Structure 1
Amino acid sequence: MAPCRLYTLKSPFFLKQISDIPRTNPRGTHFSNSSSMNKAVSIISMQQNFTRSKSTLNDDIHIRHAKELKNVKKIFIEKAKERSVDGLYMIDMIQRLGIEHHFEEEIQEAVRKQYLKIGTHSYYNIDHNLQLSEVALQFRLLRQQLCDIDTGVFGNFMDKKGRLRQKFWGDTEGLIELFEASQLSIEGEDDLHEAGNFTYHLLNSRFHDHHEANVIANTLKYPIHKSLPRWWKELGLAKDFKLARDEPIKWYMWSMACLTDPVFSEERIELTKPLSLVYIIDDIFDVYGSLDELTVFVDAVNRWDLGATEQLPDYLKACFKALYDITNEFSIRVQNKHGWNPIKTLIKSWIRLCNAFLEEAKWLSSGKLPNREEYLENGIVSTGVEVCLVHAFFMLGEGITNETLVLMDGFPPLVSSTSTILRLCHDLEGAKDNDQVGKDGSYLTCYMNDHPGVSEETAREHIKHKISDAWKCLNKECFTPTNPFPSSFAKVCLNAARMVPIMYSYENCSRSRLKEHVKSLLYGDGIREMILQKDQSLVL
């Protein structure tokens, strides 16, 4: 995306250290290797075809891919040995490029050594030459890898009142990294949260004429933790792409966002099926069905009984039949692959969703809106996020235990916080477009109804605070080592939350910019063959 960093590399300052122009970093240590960047990019250009279209490749491509990957890993290890922070710069670059699945062992080892090196906070207290950018990067990457690191590492950069010392206000690189680190704050880390707010306002107000002004603006709008990594240009989309109202592509975009590893081709397609049903059933409740028909439909879902739809119109019969069949087929597939049959949990998630849709239909029919708490409690269910994440959890097949099954039945915080982010962002951004404001209300509308006389600006600020709190909750769930769910599932939840700004990015009262984001993915060199034959069967 040309104007948006959700899909493009941000061109952060550290990338200049591996560009074609040698550069000295703030500590005076030369760190330049243009071949490392070139090799990484060559992996990007080849690896999609390597993993998704093996039948079309010759042996030379396989050999080149293996050699280039080996060379980059060698560079990675050498740089990490020379200076550990350079290893962290490499990790950051690799993650921003979205190719970390090639370097899982190397990343784990580099982070482990860095964590052992810092030991206690005395490391930061003794080495007063550490740069703010380095410490902030260390904090972010170590926390991402579930290392036990707290905000005390920033002590040397704060004054007695806990605010960033004035001497660092002009350190643009340090401010950017501190802002990025603040996005991983959890509940109770008010000092880091406030530091993030301060750096945001500082960068937003003082660096308009800076030579990296565009980088700064993109960072503030799309912090890396809350955005998707750069996607490959050869991403497996339709050969002759026409997005206009092309819902299957929209549904598949969610799957691609949540499951970024190329090995998950089959899983992406399977996840698209329940995703499509969420959208279809939502449309039925919003546009097509009468309240009486919808009540009978939900009763059939609650009973999970095909025979209960006899009195319904054909389109509702067909919808429930599709829901019934797809759910059962999915359960059989999971059981055959992973040894667990998730049918009971899946049915419960669909029952919750359809009952939430029905509640919204009743609000629409009565013309009476609920209070904001009632709306949000129902609204985080009606997003459909729970249904999709439950399917993703079983599809991955990791960490399925009696404990996680019980948690999944009860809408765990890992899922509910992701749902909250989507619901509030949708209501906040969608309200800018009059066509997107449903008569069944929004959190913004309900909040203003509950607080007569409050301005819309005040209500929006309240929603932004709630979104920030939901992100803190999600961070806590993802970065707590005692989290009962596997890291692979936590990553799916994070990526779902990161996808929200694309799906609901309304600017200047215009619709979501999803269309231009997806189309820009196709404007790469040599984009001709985009998708496997099996990926062309996305439509139900």
Structure 2
Amino acid sequence: MSTLCIGSTHIYHNALRLSPTSRSPRRLAWTSVKTKTVAATVDTLRGSANYEPSRWDHEFLLSLENIYVKRANCVRDRDFLKEKVRKVLDETTTPLEQLELVDKLQRLGVSYHFESKIDNILTDFYHNNVRECGKEDLHATALKFRLLREHGFNVSEGIFDVFINKIEDGTFESDDIRGLISVYEASYLATKLDTKLHKVIRAYANQQLRKIIDSPDHNTYDVNVLEMAVEALEMPYHWRMKRLETRRYIDAYSKHDVLIEFAKIDFNIVQAVHQEELKYLSSWWKETGLSNQLHFARDRIVENYFWTVGQIQEPQFGYVRRVITKINALITTIDDIYDVYGTLDELQQFTAIVENWDVNRLDELPEYMKLCYLVLYNETNSIGRDILKDKNINVIPFLKKSWGDLCKAYLVEAKWHKKKHKPSVEEYMQNAWISISAPTILAHFYCVFSDKISSQVLETLSRHQQHVVRCSAIVLRLANDLGTSPDELKRGDVLKSVQCYMNETGASEEKSRAYVEDMISNTWNEMNNEIISHDSSLLPRGFVEAAINLARMSQCMYQYGDGHGSPEKAKTVDRILSTLVNPIPLD
């Protein structure tokens, strides 16, 4: 158990363990595209981030397949097991067993098959059982609170009063590691009003779990439970990418029952769906010619798809994933034009043309910008055309405004860099929550995801008035800053939040990073309020969840560094292999 320590690489060991069917991509030479390539000559006026080429060869991606899904009876076996699991769900009537079963189904990634039944179970708990906490142990109370909050039920932190009172008067002692993990995880569903969850419950559980892990007697505990404690302390479950957690949970599942049989087959079937989408997107990306023409930009189509799977993973949302991956890829490219290559005059010109949305001005742009703008223009109009045809509403004005706002925010940072301006944290964040691109991503997401598009919601998104979008964007921005700012500063980029705080207060880098981490935690408290807030009723529940998933995805991508710019150094490659490439063995 010497490997059990906070921050150890043991955290995702089970999820990343390679099976005999595991595959790794080959590094092959760039494929040629028949477009005029910008010469990669040294230009003293231009920067270079020296990004590594893509780890993922196009031919390798086209060869992906899940060998278990090719079996003739795979889908039939999945559907047969699904009905057996449904029967287990129907026949489980003890309250704690019901909650634990719902939690298992969520962690195994198969709860989407039983949404109506799970919603009925939790609604019944909320109306009939939520106040029966005095008769329950710590684990049962915490699990009930976490699941209800996750599903939008506004259950009070008062459910923990019995335990809080004992902790405050020093009479509560517990070495129940399972209960401590549960209550620690539950505390991360707190809002800013739940002060006792922060100051009493989380602090107590944190202290007790660390004491257990650091104890020389920790070998007396089950190794899987200890791993759960270490993982929770490094990053709570509520903040983690769900698809990656599903892989880890399946690999660590110790029982052989119908749940795990069903989850393994379903994981492979969904992975096969994701692989087909990735093949399409790799072909689309190659056909755009952008990766070949813009040598300075990050070639990250697989990583951009991985972001999207983190946002919405269920198999029925393939169209949404395809569109949002294209948006992510264009954002990555345009970001590098502003951050790395473009001169200030060129960037002002590009921003003006995007704002005006005028393809007739294409020839005013420098050669390397023309193709990028044309792809942006065509893809956005294509999305708008599909939505007009299917949903009878013209969203192009809103989509093009989101691109204009993003480019204007990029331009602000380019001007700061040129003038060597050092913004305050407040000034930085007023621009940076837009320049991180979350409002642009989520504006497109709303349009392609929603069955019925509300003009009122479109207006609020366009004016940046949806708080859940702002919260998601702030977490994304700050997680990005913590993971990427050292590399970006080396190439002369604008100061990030950590450096802004250092410059403004004179604090050390360590204290400044801790301040930014607190900003992330506080923003999560605000975002949690959006889950249970009735003010979010105009937004589809799936949209709110996707906005929160974007924040989760940012903390996955930047957990160990710049997982988007340098994916091999920050474990992104391993995580992609475990979720998108390597199947779960069924034999």
**Which TM bucket (shorter chain)?**
0.7 to 0.9
Aligned amino acid, residue 519 of structure 1: L
Superposition map of 1:85-484 within 5 A: 85-118=96-129, 121=131, 123-125=132-134, 127=135, 130-159=136-165, 163=168, 166-194=171-199, 195-209=201-215, 210=218, 211=221, 212=223, 213-229=226-242, 230-231=246-247, 232=267, 234=271, 236-237=274-275, 247-398=300-451, 400-411=453-464, 412-431=466-485, 433=487, 439-452=493-506, 454-483=507-536, 484=538
Which segment is superposed worse, 164-173 or 487-496? 164-173
Deviates more, 1:384-393 or 1:203-212: 203-212
Shift of 1:506: 2.2
How far does residue 6 in structure 1 lie from its aligned partner after superposition?
11
> Which letter maps to 1:449?
N
Inter-CA distance 321–523: structure 2 relative to 1 (3 Å threshold): closer
Partner letter of residue 84 of structure 1? P
Conservation of the 8 A alpha-carbon contact between 1:186 and 1:473: yes
Show the counterpart of 1:63. Answer: 76
In 2, distance between residues paired with 1:70 and 1:383? 43
Identity of aligned pairs, percent?
A: 29
Q: CA deviation at 1:171?
A: 2.1
How many Å separate the matches in 1 of 2:398 and 2:344?
Answer: 27
Q: SS of the residue aligned with 1:167?
A: coil
CA distance 1:368–1:221, change in 2 (3 Å): same
Partner of 1:502: 556
Name the residue aligned to 1:15: none
The within-5 A match list for 1:31-46 is none
The answer to whether the Cα contact below 8 Å between 1:6 and 1:228 also exists between their aligned partners in 2 is: no
Provide, for residues 519-539 of structure 1, a one-character-per-residue CA deviation record: whole Å limited to 9, x for no partner: 233344569xxxxxxxxxxxx
**Which residue identity lines up with residue 202 of structure 2 in the other structure?**
G
Give the whole-Å Cα distance in 1 for the aligned partners of 2:91 and 2:412: 59
Q: Which amino acid aligns with 1:219?
A: A
Q: Using a 3 Å threshold, how does the CA distance of structure 1 residues 278 and 197 change in structure 2: closer, same or farther? A: farther
SS at match of 1:377: helix
Aligned to 1:25: none
- Which protein, 1 or 2, shows the higher relative CO under an 8 Å CA cutoff with sep ≥ 6? 2
Secondary structure, in 3 states, of the residue corresponding to 1:158?
A: helix
Q: 1:340 is matched by which residue type in structure 2? A: I
Cα pair distance change 1:165/1:145, threshold 3 Å: farther
**Aligned equivalents of 1:86 and 1:97: distance in 2?**
16
User: Which residue pairs with 2:544 in the alignment?
Assistant: 490
Q: 1:508 to 1:491 in 2, by over 3 A?
A: closer
- Distance, in Å, in 1 between the alignment partners of 2:347 and 2:485 is 26
State the match for 2:56 in structure 1.
none
> In structure 2, do the counterparts of structure 1 residues 424 and 518 end up closer, same or farther at CA, with 3 Å as the change threshold?
same
Match of 1:170, SS?
Answer: coil
Query: What do the CA deviations read for 1:188-219 (whole angstroms, capped 9, x no partner)?
Result: 11111122233223312332342343221112
Measured after TM superposition, the shift of residue 363 of structure 1 is 1.2
Corresponding residue for residue 518 of structure 1 = 576
Provide the aligned length of Structure 1 versus Structure 2: 473
User: Does the CA-based 8 Å contact 2:484-2:561 persist in structure 1?
Assistant: no
Displacement after TM superposition at 1:374 (Å): 1.0
CA distance in 2 between counterparts of 1:428 and 1:410 reads 28
Mark the runs of 5 or more structure 2 residues left unpaired by the alignment.
1-7, 17-64, 248-266, 283-297
CA contact 1:417–1:470 (8 Å) conserved in 2 = yes
Out of 48, 72, 87, the position equivalent to 1:74 is 87
Taking the aligned partners of 1:408 and 1:462, their CA distance within structure 2 comes to 29
1:508 is displaced (CA, Å) by 12
Q: Is the 8 A contact 2:191 2:528 kept in 1?
A: yes
Shift of residue 66, structure 1, vs aligned partner:
2.1
Alpha-carbon spacing, 1:355–1:467, altered in 2? closer, same or farther (3 Å)? same
Cα contact 1:252–1:268 (8 A) shared by 2: yes
- SS of 2:423's partner is coil
* Matched residue SS, 1:310: helix
- Contact 1:433 / 1:506 at 8 angstroms: preserved in 2? no
8 Å Cα contact 2:241/2:556 also seen in 1: no
With over 3 angstroms needed to count, the CA separation of the structure-2 counterparts of 1:397 and 1:450, relative to structure 1, is same
Q: Deviations over 1:204-257 (max 9, x none)?
A: 233234234322111212322111221535353468x9xxx7511011111111
Cα pair 1:372 1:447 within 8 Å, conserved: yes
CA distance 1:285–1:260, change in 2 (3 Å): same
1:399 to 1:485, Cα distance in 2 relative to 1, 3 A: farther
Q: What is the TM-score normalised by the length of structure 2?
A: 0.75
Asked whether the 8 Å contact 2:151–2:531 carries over to 1, the reply is no
Secondary structure of 1:207's aligned partner: helix
Given that residues 502 and 513 in structure 1 are in contact (C-alpha distance below 8 angstroms), is that contact kept between their aligned partners in structure 2? no
Any gaps of 5 or more consecutive residues in structure 1?
A: 10-47, 528-540
CA contact 1:399–1:485 (8 Å) conserved in 2: no
Quick check: 1:251–1:276 contact (8 Å CA) kept in 2? yes
Deviation string, structure 1 residues 80-103 (Cα, Å, up to 9, x no partner):
x1x011111011011111111101
TM-aligned CA distance change 1:438 to 1:417, over 3 Å:
farther
Measured after TM superposition, the shift of residue 139 of structure 1 is: 0.4
- Give how far 1:381 is off: 0.7
Mapped contact 2:480–2:562 kept (Cα < 8 A): no
1-side partners of 2:473 and 2:332: how far apart? 15
Find the aligned partners of 1:332 and 1:318 in 2 and give their Cα distance.
21
- Greater alpha carbon shift after TM alignment, 209-218 vs 487-496: 209-218
* Aligned equivalents of 2:502, 2:190: Cα separation in 1: 29
Q: Deviations over 1:427-451 (max 9, x none)?
A: 1232355777752110111111111
Distance 1:433 1:302, change over 3 A: closer
CA shift for structure 1 position 389: 1.0
What TM-score do the two structures reach when normalised by structure 1? 0.81
Contact 1:399–1:486 (CA<8 Å) still a contact in 2?
no
Query: Given that residues 179 and 200 in structure 1 are in contact (C-alpha distance below 8 angstroms), is that contact kept between their aligned partners in structure 2?
Result: yes
CA distance 1:368–1:507, shift in 2 (3 Å): closer
- CA distance in structure 1 between the aligned counterparts of 2:198 and 2:389, rounded to whole angstroms: 46
Task: Give the Å deviation of 1:164.
Answer: 8.2
- Contact 2:388–2:394 (8 Å) recurs in 1: yes
Q: Is the Cα contact below 8 Å between 1:146 and 1:481 reproduced in 2?
A: no
Distance 1:337 1:314 in 2: 36
Whole-angstrom distance in 2 between the partners of 1:166 and 1:298: 63
